[in-house]
Structures are given as C-alpha cells and as structure tokens.
Amino acid sequence: MSYIIPCRHFHSTEVAPDTLHATLFVFDSQCGFVEFAPVLGPVDLASSTQPRDPAGVMPAALANMVDTMHSWEKLMEEGQQHSEHAEWEHALRAFNKALNLCESVPGFPNPVRYKHQVSGQLGNTNRQFGRYEQARDILEKALEEMGPESSEHIEFCGELGVVYRHMNHFEDAKLAKE
C-alpha cells in the first residue's frame, strides 16, 4: 500500500512480531520541508533513529531483497500446498529451494530464523518419506540452534517426538514431547 503523511505528522506501522516487513519512506518537499524528520524504531528492540541517510543501502538493493523474500515466501507456500496434497517430492523440492535462498543469497535478512522455518518443513517432509534419521538430524540441529524461546520450538519438539516414536526411541520421544 502507499499513502501520504502530511508534514509534521506522526506515523506508525504495527505488524506481528514474527512478520518480516518494511516501511519505505519517500520524503517529498512539495508539501513542506522539515529539516529534522527522524525515523524511530523498532520499539520492541533497542530503539534507533534513522536519519534521512539511507546508510549506504540503495533502492535497487532493497528491491532485490524484497524480490528474494517474496521468492522465499512463494517457495514455502508452494511446498506447503504440495504437503497438503501429499505430493512429498514436490514439497521437498520447494523447501530445499527455499533453504538454498537462505544460505546462498548474500545479505538475506535474518537467515537463521528463516532457515529454521524451512527446517521444520524439511523435517516433516522427510518423516513422511520414512527418512527418520534425516528428519531427526534436521530437527535436532534446528532445535539446538534456535533455543527454547523460539516460537517454533514447541512445534519442532512435537515433530521430533513423532520421529523418535517411528524410530522406536520411546524414551527420546517422551522427552521431546515433554
């Protein structure tokens, strides 16, 4: 979306905490000019003020990053749709492409977090194929990296518990589920 904020008016953007978003500002002096028009945010982390200096980030780089993130989202959505129809090979291909974006694109934003999201899907997909060792390794590694405060932690523990159960590791399954 796009809209205009009059000169000297406050603007805020509210999004869910785990949502990747961007608010791009174009300062147009046709409606008035104020020398000091700082941008404050994010308020949930250490706040910072961004002056009008784009900090060396060019519009083309921002456009490329938006395109990369859009590609990642499309691959994840594609993989999930294939998963819903039990098209596991197609799902696995889409999730692996999404993982490749996280690992290969320089400057991919918060690659660890997005790799974790893909890891959950890859763990589930490998379990569906009966590749329990691969699913276990993927999920254990992701859980080790993400720590207990992650929003996906509970979901991954549950999936890992199912994998352990299929491997007849009942004590490990119980611990993972707990």
Q: Which amino acid is at 147?
A: G
Asked whether residue 3 is domain-assigned, the answer is no
Q: Is residue 2 part of a domain?
A: no
Predicted local distance difference test score (pLDDT) of residue 47: 47
- pLDDT at residue number 94: 98
In a domain, 32, yes or no: no
Strand-pair partners of 49: 40
Indicate whether 54 belongs to any domain: no
Residue-averaged pLDDT of the chain: 83
pLDDT at 20: 61
Q: How many domains does the chain have?
A: 1
Q: Which of 46-55, 98-107, 142-151 ranks highest by mean pLDDT? A: 98-107
pLDDT at 73: 94
pLDDT digit string (tens) for 61-106? 778 888 899 999 999 999 999 999 999 999 999 999 999 999 999 8
Say if 72 falls within a structural domain: yes
- Residue 17 falls within a domain, yes or no? no
pLDDT at 144 > cutoff 60 = yes
Q: What is the pTM of this model?
A: 0.71
**128 within domain boundaries:** yes
Domain that holds residue 165: 59-177
Summarised one tens digit per residue, pLDDT across range 9-44 is 777 777 766 566 666 666 666 666 666 666 666 555
Looking at residue 88, which CATH number applies to its domain? 1.25.40.10
pLDDT given for residue 89 in this prediction = 96
Cα gap 150→113, rounded to integer Å: 9
